[in-house]
């Protein structure tokens, strides 16, 4: 099931001096797909950072018109939100869902980086 989370107070402005993190763990053998649906932060000083396990994969700030999407390779995402001591915006809203990694492909094993849309194009012909 698709799950949602947001920065504090969203869609009202987040507070100053935020240092929040959300950790999403997949069931063993599965992966997490994370989508940043909306994002608006102070450009200079406030940001969202996405970690795939221990590795930072994205630092997002300002505003996005696309919806960045990430697939975990470790089965865990950590999303960190940081704001400084002045100027706030509406923050972010994100969704995540557990995916059945490599379910239809004998040649793929977890953990492996691939995109859901690429997966579907590589499915065997019926
Ligand atoms: Ca700020």
Whether 126 is in a domain gets the answer: no
Whether 81 contacts 45, CB under 8 Å: no
- C-alpha of residue 5 to centroid of ligand 1, in Å: 20
Segments forming the whole domain that contains residue 29: 3-121
CA-nearest of 83, 38, 36 to 58 is 36
- C-alpha of residue 50 to centroid of ligand 1, in Å: 18
Instruction: List, for residues 76-103, the tens digit of each pLDDT value.
Output: 899 999 999 999 999 999 999 988 754 4
- C-alpha of residue 57 to centroid of ligand 1, in Å: 22
In sequence order, the 6+-apart residues with CB closer than 8 A to the CB of 122 are 105
Q: Which CATH number covers residue 103? A: 2.60.120.290
Q: Which of 9-13, 72-76, 95-99, 111-115 has the lowest mean pLDDT?
A: 111-115
- Total-model pTM: 0.78
């Amino acid at each position: 099931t698709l799950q949602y989370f947001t920065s504090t107070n969203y869609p009202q402005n987040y507070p100053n001096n935020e240092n929040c993190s959300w950790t999403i763990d997949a069931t063993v053998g599965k992966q997490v797909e994370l989508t940043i649906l909306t994002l608006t932060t102070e450009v200079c000083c406030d940001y969202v950072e996405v970690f795939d396990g221990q590795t930072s994969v994205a630092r997002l700030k300002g505003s996005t018109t696309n919806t960045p999407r990430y697939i975990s390779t470790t089965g865990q995402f950590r999303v960190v939100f940081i704001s400084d001591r002045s100027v706030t915006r509406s923050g972010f809203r994100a969704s995540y869902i557990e995916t059945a990694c490599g379910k239809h492909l004998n040649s793929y094993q977890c953990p492996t980086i691939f995109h859901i849309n690429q997966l579907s194009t590589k499915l065997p012909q019926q």
